Structure 1
């Protein structure tokens, strides 16, 4: 990887200026960089990878060149800008994050990766003299929403630029390095798996702390601590004797009799063991806020009175510019009281000024316990002595899923502060559903492969065509890491197909290829099975359709019988639901349970057995209401019908095609053979192998050149709509090339068709918000279409264009553009016209659930970002000027404070 010749010069000078000795992996990476190689460094969180990036900065300055230092998020860019400014002086360091532009012509510029991508597409003059690019947290290219930006930069950077890629530990570093070598040339791969601060794993059961691993564990054999296993068994046995059942008694949740140790007591125990400061990861914003509130209600105080003045100074530095009238709305006083007690929450829903205050206080040791979501685990410099995990399950956007080993390692990687702690600690809080063997598996697994999320979109495709034409664009896409990984997977599939083909030929010989042979008989049997499956699916579909129709027809007060399952018995409908395809009415059962039921609870369609008068308002959350209504339901005298089995006549009984196939099977010569069963087993193996091989062939076909095929489909749609003509990008296409948004093509179409002409600044902000805002609830929010008639007209026209676009995308087999979301229209409109924060928050969000201040600010800034793009790309002078006015109207108060 590197030569052993003696080195003089820059590395020696750089090392001499440090107040610590370089670790072997840091020295190897820096030496490779000085020798002229590109470098990929993979090392654990907190190991000091950024030193290699700082050496690239040193080399650029020493040679009179330029270095761009890129990070995935603005907070990291701000942090790095502060670090490099302190080291190299304000004159030499700049910052570009979209929100901020400080000294952009400096020799060293820190920026988000999107900014560099946009520079490359625009062939910016700022790229002249660029000699090094540092890509911090390059493993972020696995992010399914923003990961493609990393690969775009890597593929487009000029060949003479040396790339320094810094990544968390991944198990396929060599694969990633091999790809980097193919697209960037000579690249040294430096991997270090040693944590700078050793990590001890624990499980906390009640107030007792146990080591997770037995002291006899080795890399070959992981053993769970015997004392831990024994104590859990004893506790479970004692709890059973005290009366709670060993099974799960909630709706799929933990045992309802189990009460975890309150958070204040957990923190007090950690404090007693000398394990603070600690970060407790809770996978929901509300959970973090609730945990902090629970601590505030207790007597827990982790602060030192002599630190109050310093805490107040940091608070004032970050929040002093907040409008005083908004402090109550922002929950400022409770937040400040918590900081005075050494406690805080940290999540994306917080006001940025609050979040940055917490970060600084924690790093200074003035806050000793933080409840955080997993976003804290990404890059932000907030290490702790201890990391606590309350649960090992989190919501991934679609369902609740168990943590992966990579996620577990990313979270616990925050434990152990280099230069401060001798060791770090990871503590899992035990609950009845926690399997200590599974925890040990998470903590000991070292396989975290990096998977590309790269795929072409409209903006990327139009920029590629504009820069290099369609042919070269396809070639570039085929050089992506995504295609590199796909092609490697194809090699294994092709070998599998070859092995299967050889085996199929051998089995065919045993079965006989001739007409009337056993192969033909097996084919008949397969066709019968396939037809039976089709008919069974049709029967299930018909039955589900009938159940959906019946549930949709139910009205408030209808009494039905839930035929089976945990909720079997009478129920009254409290809230009907006519959601197409998946109605989930709210019911109350005679057993006092209230909740939503679905088609899965009704193997036979629901039937109205009677009706019950309900009060105008029913608060099913209160035990008294549930008890009174359940009693009234039992008093109606309605009886559930006899137990329904859900029996049905299968479509197979009357199907002519199936009957014909069965007759052909019985009359086939092979049907009467004495070795029929033996040959059938061979035939089943043949059929199974044939299906498996066909599936592999389809996977190969779908994988080979898959990105280029997607690009061609996108190009076809762009040509249809006039953004590309005769292989050249049109004027409309060049506008699209400058719009960087998830809904880029929809924005470009709305501008081209003049749909937003005539709107005022606040109205334009409201309409534009529909293209960036995403409701936290599934399916988006399509409430009232806007507070003014011009907004309603513009929103309706925008949705009309989106609908046409979705139809075209379906025809071209492209991923559909997401639907406009109206959940932020009223809120940003009110804010942009000058209303107060309280009124604007109340008008924002999902169906009566107002946004948090942090979310409000975040979405305002995203609206500002898109309005800025409209200002610079719109041909219509009036629309461009209105967009600029809207930006100024939104950028005030809390939105303007501590922008990062």
Structure 2
């Protein structure tokens, strides 16, 4: 029955008037078999009315309808529309959707991998592609009427988020912007900024899920409701203001806590594990212990195979099970295989096999063996699979297609899936509410919980979705209820100017205009709003000073004057000591920077104290200085920093470090340690003489003496209550300093983005990428135009390395290995495992690049610009070998890298080679870069159709 038949006469008339007022929306909606939700209608009307729109709605709520309407409107008006997405997989998916709706001749695709029909009136692309087109002044932008920014909340991403703001700020005023976002708690603030930057902007927020979501807890093998009444996410009327937790869960938590408490009081045997009970239970604690063990067993998490059976019995499949560990996801699939779990019919198996064969059609048998394809396919045919950044993209796409078709019943995934392509399920299960963030185990936030559970409930298939959390020891059901009922997901800007951004913008507009544009950023908008609170605090602090100064009043004279003399003496002495430490740091930094593999030195303090041999001269950080990697006498490999040297470092000799030394190989470390000890026995290993730090310069000694004379002559010096007054005066001076600091913060925050841009211009001017123009203007030099083509995070180091000739004379495999140091990011735990470069020539190139990086870091320090340049070598050998034609199996055998990670890093090396080729211009380097692409674009790397630009999953056991 048509939903329109349920409307009242007044509602039918209002609908008729609406359709008359918005004819394009009427024509567009007629192409769908369902009625649009009210928020979709409201947003589409705003677009047809000529306004931009921000749509914030839950996952699966159908907000892409508004983006598709913008495309429809562009075609109807004879204008262009760009549909942008954050990842290539989403771009490919959206391209297919729009081709199916509008025809292949009207839709194009532009990603880093693909260029299809780029002159079409509708082009789907990744956001980076649009940003680069804007900077290049591409003719494709002519006639552009609409830009859809799908998943716009990605602008909070630390690495890639600034691209969204660059586009929003830089698009012509004539372009209507349609921003689609997940539900964020500060949508109105974000909308206010969009309106300030883009003009008329409507904000449409919907928190109503299209499919109600019920919340459960899996206690042992019992599925229990989390809430006593309807869950907040399932209450479409949103009647209640508070939601009670299921009392049965509260009782379980109390029982569990009492069992643990009682057990902790039990008398312990010598082993500390409790007394052994007799078989008959004659021990006074025996029967109770057995009952408590049985009680605890009831609450213990069930085996994963049992969990799947519980979900299947409750008709909650297909399900996504979130495990915050790659290894955990892979292990879960193996556990289900070992438990002989089988969830598919023969017909489904046949369909899965056809899809899988299509996705691996270009792979050799050798590649498939290296990828463990047989084990992967076995799990797939059983209806289970893993999905994380370590899975080869082609296999991940296979999982996605099978799951979307309803063929796979259980996917074990890391949280990156929550931000990925459209892959909803009937239920979502979260094993633990704690994740490892690379440094510590932390609780997931309400926003993360909302993102993860948002995939439960397939619109048009399920009448309800289900979120399930596995009960863990010590769980607080009230805290879980707080996660499930809060919808706090604030959007925070990650925007900051970069070197590449600076030269590209200065290529298009004068310096003052660039500063004005940058101050329009969402980051500056949020900062300016925070200044209001600082100003209030400043007023309070100024009042505190007046009150405290009054308490310090002295009958003999102006005690605040006397206190300032004391404070000035302390300040000069402190500054002198700080200056002395700075001289010491500079000298230590120079000596550490000069270290080379094989140098022997003594670390005077810290956990690395003792004799060490340098195995890698490491990288330089603006905050920590040089970070050489060393091996101690007990074969421990660590990174040193300036904090390890309260005295100046001195080398006493050298020992030869083998050319292909691998610090992770115990035999390599053992051999070097033997040579190290033998060499140390030959040297004078008496600890080096400690060089004392200096004393005050004569001018400062004289200044302090004069101040002390003035202090002694001051009338307050003889006051019997001097120290009492001084305590109040010190508090007053502290308040005064706080007020000055707040004034500085207010001043700095109101122009923080522009100030960073000015510092960047100072660095670029010092290095010759910018030159003075007319008045206060700056002009981009030829070197600056080279930098404009480099979009790497280390853009300036890459550009300087091109200019310095660091890449010249390298073969294609050597160049691939060297370029990898700009793109590779080691996973947590791998940072302190330095790898040697593939050969001597590559090492020489890396040494030259490191010198370039140190030179830049010193210029940045002079400009007071924070910097942290790291050049990790962990992918250099795989990149070199792959480019040299080595088979995949050999490369994966030599590293602990997953196939998905290998392909991801290989693709990034290829992307950077393309940028360097463009930046370098005609010549040998460009030809070498093209050869890198030609040689690396093969096998599993070439087979990638849609590689997500995602961060690797953090893994507590990886």
Considering the TM-score relative to the shorter chain, is it more than 0.5? yes
Larger deviation, residues 396-405 vs 871-880:
396-405
Query: Partner residue of 1:630?
Result: none
Between the aligned partners of 2:727 and 2:126, the Cα distance in structure 1 is: 61
Q: How does 1:197-596 map to 2 (within 5 A)?
A: 197-215=211-229, 220-238=241-259, 260-512=301-553, 548=606, 551-552=609-610, 576=636, 579-580=639-640
- Please tell me whether residue 708 in structure 1 is matched to residue 754 in structure 2: yes
Q: Is the 8 A contact 2:821 2:875 kept in 1?
A: yes
- TM (norm. structure 1) is 0.81
1:799 to 829, 844, 850: 850
The verdict on how the C-alpha distance between 1:528 and 1:303 changes in structure 2, with shifts beyond 3 A counting, is farther
Query: Partner residue of 1:129?
Result: 143
Q: Is the 8 A contact 1:553 1:578 kept in 2?
A: no
Post-superposition offset of 1:841 = 2.1
1:662-687 CA-to-partner distances (Å, cap 9, x unmatched) read x999x9777659xx99x999879867
2:918 to 843, 847, 872: 872
* Secondary structure of residue in 1 paired with 2:458: coil
Post-superposition offset of 1:717 = 1.0
Between the aligned partners of 1:526 and 1:411, the Cα distance in structure 2 is: 55
Between the aligned partners of 2:353 and 2:254, the Cα distance in structure 1 is: 48
- Please tell me whether residue 761 in structure 1 is matched to residue 812 in structure 2: yes
Q: Is the 8 A contact 2:549 2:728 kept in 1?
A: no
- Please tell me whether residue 742 in structure 1 is matched to residue 793 in structure 2: yes
Post-superposition offset of 1:532 = 15
- Please tell me whether residue 184 in structure 1 is matched to residue 201 in structure 2: no
Query: Partner residue of 2:780?
Result: 729
The verdict on how the C-alpha distance between 1:266 and 1:860 changes in structure 2, with shifts beyond 3 A counting, is same
Between the aligned partners of 1:369 and 1:710, the Cα distance in structure 2 is: 48
Query: Partner residue of 2:898?
Result: 852
Between the aligned partners of 2:257 and 2:642, the Cα distance in structure 1 is: 39
The verdict on how the C-alpha distance between 1:220 and 1:681 changes in structure 2, with shifts beyond 3 A counting, is farther
1:282-314 CA-to-partner distances (Å, cap 9, x unmatched) read 112112112222222112222223311111111
The verdict on how the C-alpha distance between 1:781 and 1:320 changes in structure 2, with shifts beyond 3 A counting, is farther
The verdict on how the C-alpha distance between 1:740 and 1:672 changes in structure 2, with shifts beyond 3 A counting, is closer
RMSD across aligned positions (CA): 3.9
Q: Is the 8 A contact 1:95 1:103 kept in 2?
A: yes
Larger deviation, residues 281-290 vs 183-192:
281-290
The verdict on how the C-alpha distance between 1:64 and 1:325 changes in structure 2, with shifts beyond 3 A counting, is same
Between the aligned partners of 2:497 and 2:408, the Cα distance in structure 1 is: 44
Between the aligned partners of 2:212 and 2:40, the Cα distance in structure 1 is: 18
Larger deviation, residues 470-479 vs 391-400:
391-400
Between the aligned partners of 1:127 and 1:857, the Cα distance in structure 2 is: 32
Between the aligned partners of 1:696 and 1:220, the Cα distance in structure 2 is: 40
Post-superposition offset of 1:811 = 2.0
Q: Is the 8 A contact 2:370 2:892 kept in 1?
A: no
1:562-606 CA-to-partner distances (Å, cap 9, x unmatched) read xxxxxxxxxxx976455436999xxxxxxxxxxxxxxxxxxxxxx
Q: How does 1:858-897 map to 2 (within 5 A)?
A: 858-897=904-943
The verdict on how the C-alpha distance between 1:878 and 1:441 changes in structure 2, with shifts beyond 3 A counting, is same
Q: Is the 8 A contact 1:464 1:473 kept in 2?
A: yes
1:44-95 CA-to-partner distances (Å, cap 9, x unmatched) read 1111110000000000111111100000111111111111111111111111
Query: Partner residue of 1:85?
Result: 99
1:183-239 CA-to-partner distances (Å, cap 9, x unmatched) read 111111111111111112222221122222232887543432211010222244446
Q: How does 1:4-153 map to 2 (within 5 A)?
A: 6-153=20-167
Post-superposition offset of 1:815 = 3.1
Post-superposition offset of 1:142 = 0.5
Q: Is the 8 A contact 1:278 1:369 kept in 2?
A: yes
Between the aligned partners of 2:222 and 2:301, the Cα distance in structure 1 is: 13
Query: Partner residue of 1:565?
Result: none
* Secondary structure of residue in 2 paired with 1:452: coil
Query: Partner residue of 1:640?
Result: none
Q: Is the 8 A contact 2:879 2:906 kept in 1?
A: yes
Post-superposition offset of 1:778 = 5.2
Between the aligned partners of 1:196 and 1:4, the Cα distance in structure 2 is: 23
Query: Partner residue of 1:812?
Result: 863
The verdict on how the C-alpha distance between 1:680 and 1:401 changes in structure 2, with shifts beyond 3 A counting, is farther
Q: Is the 8 A contact 2:329 2:387 kept in 1?
A: yes
Between the aligned partners of 1:527 and 1:83, the Cα distance in structure 2 is: 71
- Runs (5+) with no aligned partner, structure 2: 1-14, 233-238, 274-295, 581-602, 614-632, 645-663, 667-700, 773-777, 947-958
* Secondary structure of residue in 1 paired with 2:889: helix
Between the aligned partners of 2:266 and 2:66, the Cα distance in structure 1 is: 56
The verdict on how the C-alpha distance between 1:895 and 1:55 changes in structure 2, with shifts beyond 3 A counting, is same
Between the aligned partners of 1:820 and 1:275, the Cα distance in structure 2 is: 47
The verdict on how the C-alpha distance between 1:763 and 1:221 changes in structure 2, with shifts beyond 3 A counting, is same
The verdict on how the C-alpha distance between 1:31 and 1:438 changes in structure 2, with shifts beyond 3 A counting, is same
The verdict on how the C-alpha distance between 1:466 and 1:207 changes in structure 2, with shifts beyond 3 A counting, is same
Between the aligned partners of 1:322 and 1:835, the Cα distance in structure 2 is: 15
Q: Is the 8 A contact 1:139 1:168 kept in 2?
A: yes
Q: Is the 8 A contact 2:19 2:25 kept in 1?
A: no
Q: Is the 8 A contact 1:577 1:583 kept in 2?
A: no
The verdict on how the C-alpha distance between 1:28 and 1:325 changes in structure 2, with shifts beyond 3 A counting, is same
Q: Is the 8 A contact 1:46 1:414 kept in 2?
A: yes
Larger deviation, residues 415-424 vs 84-93:
415-424
Q: Is the 8 A contact 1:783 1:822 kept in 2?
A: yes
Which structure has more relative contact order (CA 8 Å, sep 6+)? It is 2
Q: Is the 8 A contact 1:141 1:147 kept in 2?
A: yes
1:392-441 CA-to-partner distances (Å, cap 9, x unmatched) read 22233443322121111111111111111222111121212432222222
* Secondary structure of residue in 2 paired with 1:437: helix
Between the aligned partners of 2:39 and 2:225, the Cα distance in structure 1 is: 30
1:425-468 CA-to-partner distances (Å, cap 9, x unmatched) read 11121212432222222222222221111000110001111110
Q: Is the 8 A contact 2:386 2:413 kept in 1?
A: yes
Q: Is the 8 A contact 1:517 1:670 kept in 2?
A: no
Between the aligned partners of 2:572 and 2:301, the Cα distance in structure 1 is: 53
Query: Partner residue of 1:636?
Result: none
The verdict on how the C-alpha distance between 1:243 and 1:310 changes in structure 2, with shifts beyond 3 A counting, is farther
* Secondary structure of residue in 1 paired with 2:217: strand
Between the aligned partners of 1:700 and 1:148, the Cα distance in structure 2 is: 23
